[in-house]
Amino acid sequence: MYFAALLARTEDGWEASDTELDDVETLTDLADLAREAAVDDDTVVAFIEQEDAWFGVVRVDGEDDPRVFLSNAAAAAKSSYGAMLTDELLGREEDDVADDLDSLDLDGTEDGEPESNDNNDHVDDDDPLEAVNGSDGPPHGPLGDAALLADLGVSEKELLALDGDALSTIADSLGCTEVLEAVR
């Protein structure tokens, strides 16, 4: 189950809104949604959380490129919204993995019998299956810009150390716990 919210900074503090991500397919879509919630092109922070598996923070400042942080990229990559952010951070195009799978010869008939590999520990860097199965996969841990909230009171070190109910901890630091809890 997902939780998503947008926090828009205003002159009087923060305004929060519960966010539906049904129409969000790319980071650009999410950034556009955040910009719509912005007051006078000020900072908007999007929180996305999937139960206790991972959380993501996307910061949008006016027309600047969005900044993204994921707490656990490997866990996030297993979900649709997390995969969208992970792929963006890793510079992957949407069809890269599908293209890798399409290029595989899975029946072994193209060049006759498959060659035997006496060294089972060998990893072929050019093998698309290796890329799909994890050697090129997202890291099991944080990914992105851990300093994206530093000027708002959450240091890089603090963000990297968060676990559990991280979004509430971040909201405490931003001074908007009540606003966030109102949309939860």
| pLDDT, tens digit, 9 for 90 and up, residues 118-147 | 444 444 444 333 333 445 689 999 999 999
> CA separation (Å) from 141 to 69, 93, 148?
11, 21, 17
Q: What is the mean pLDDT of the chain?
A: 81
Distance of CA 129 to the CA centre of its chain: 23
**CA gyration radius for the chain?**
20
88: closest CA among 155, 131, 129, 27? 27
The yes-or-no verdict on residue 177 having pLDDT over 60 is: yes
Residue written as token pair 């939860």: 184
Name the 3-class secondary structure at 46.
Answer: strand
Is 70 within 8 Å of 89 (Cβ atoms)? yes
Residue in the structure block whose two tokens are 């990559």: 77
Q: What is the pLDDT of residue 109?
A: 45
- The pLDDT value given to residue 39: 87
**Average pLDDT value for residue range 94-110:** 46
* Whether the predicted pLDDT of 164 surpasses 90: no
Task: Let me know: does 72 contact 58? Beta carbons within 8 Å.
Answer: no
pLDDT of residue 115: 45
